[in-house]
Structure formats: structure tokens, C-alpha cells
Amino acid sequence: MSSNPLYRLFIAIPLPDHQRVTLSHWSASMQKQLPFQRWVHPSDYHITLQFLGACTFKQARKVKRELKQIVAKEDPFQLQVRDFGFFGVPTHPRILWAGLGGDLHRLQSLYHTVAEKVEPLGFTKEKRRYQPHITLAKKYGRNDFPHDRLAEFPPLHGELSWTVDEMILYQTHLYRSPMYSPMAQFGLG
């Protein structure tokens, strides 16, 4: 047994229950029309701020210390689910996602603060432009994806806005569903 176990970690904003339920109902209604290979478990819906990857206990402790300092200076803010989109080739996308609206400036600011604080701990900043989203499904299957009809997809029903009031350090458990569990939670403000 290793004396230095590794954890697969990332930092994210969780979704409240009512958002998870709303997105879960929408996803369930679309599964026959959109044959993705894997639909995300509703408990795993989140907005990623920073992927960390494999971490030792010591690294995780340092990350927690930084996150405590960050949240002490951050006030809660509003987000909402806005639209749907995809990443990848339009006819066979890798990811189907729900897009966000609301105080995106605050979300971007939080993203940059987190990246800057964990970089000195050995974690690489993402080089691509930050595109905050909620992943709903992965790996599109057969036939062509109806990307040109995305605007025709049924709208979401229910409360689409919420107050972001915490950040979570999540641990990934590969091959489980749900596959993410909170290692530590940090309330904003």
C-alpha cells in the first residue's frame, strides 16, 4: 500500500437541487432523440473552475488552505441556466452542455483567482479560454447530431436562476455513478 495515496481532484461550483432536477428532467426527455454514449448523473452536474488531476494528501491540504483564503474575499453571486450547446465536431460532438447567464464577470473573476492561487502549488493554468458550462452528456453516438436544430430543443421549465454561495473541492471516483464526491466545501463570504 502506498504511503502517498493519490486523489483525482477538481474545483467546481455545485448546482442546487432544483437546478439538478430541472436539467435532469430535460436530459431524460432528450435521451432518445440524442443518442449520446453517456449522460451525466444529476448529482455530478457542476461548473468546473480548475481541474487539478492527481494530488497527494499534502497537495490537497495546500489547495484547501488557498481555497479558504479565496472564499473569505468572495461574496455570493447569481447565475442562471441559459441555453444549450456542444463542443467538438458539429455532426458528432464530444460534449452536450447547458450554458450560463447571470453574473458571468464574477464567475470569470473567481475562475482566474482560483487558477492564479493554485498554479504556484504545481497545477497548470488552462490555456484555452474559459467557457463555463454544465456538462450534460458525452460522446455522441450514431447518426448525425442535429446541431442546426439546437434552438428548437424543448426549453427548460422551472427556476433557472440561483445564488452561487459555495465552491467545492471534488474527488473523482472513476467507474462509479455518481462519480464525484465533495472532499471539502467552502462557503463564499
What are the chain's domains? 6-187 (3.90.1140.10)
State the pLDDT at residue 2.
46
* Closest to 138 (Cα-Cα) out of 70, 39, 54, 24: 39
Q: Return the residue matching grid coordinates 470569470.
A: 108
State the pLDDT at residue 152.
74
Does residue 76 sit in helix, strand or coil? Answer: coil
- Residue 19: in which H helix or E strand, if any? helix 17-30
Outline where 48-181 has alpha helix (H). Answer: 57-72, 104-118
Active site positions, annotated: 46, 133
State the pLDDT at residue 17.
95
pLDDT in tens, 74-109: 999 999 998 888 898 877 888 999 999 999 999 999
Which of 88 and 152 is assigned the larger pLDDT?
88
Whether pLDDT at 129 is above 90: yes
pTM for this model (two decimals):
0.91
Average pLDDT for 18-41: 91
- Residue 164: in which H helix or E strand, if any? strand 161-164
CA 82 to chain centre: 15
State the pLDDT at residue 1.
39
Whether pLDDT at 33 is above 90: no
Average pLDDT for 100-128: 96
At 103, list the grid cell. 453574473
Distance CA 125, CA 145 (A): 32
Prior bond of 178 cis (ω within 30°): yes
Band the pLDDT of 158: cuts 50, 70, 90. low
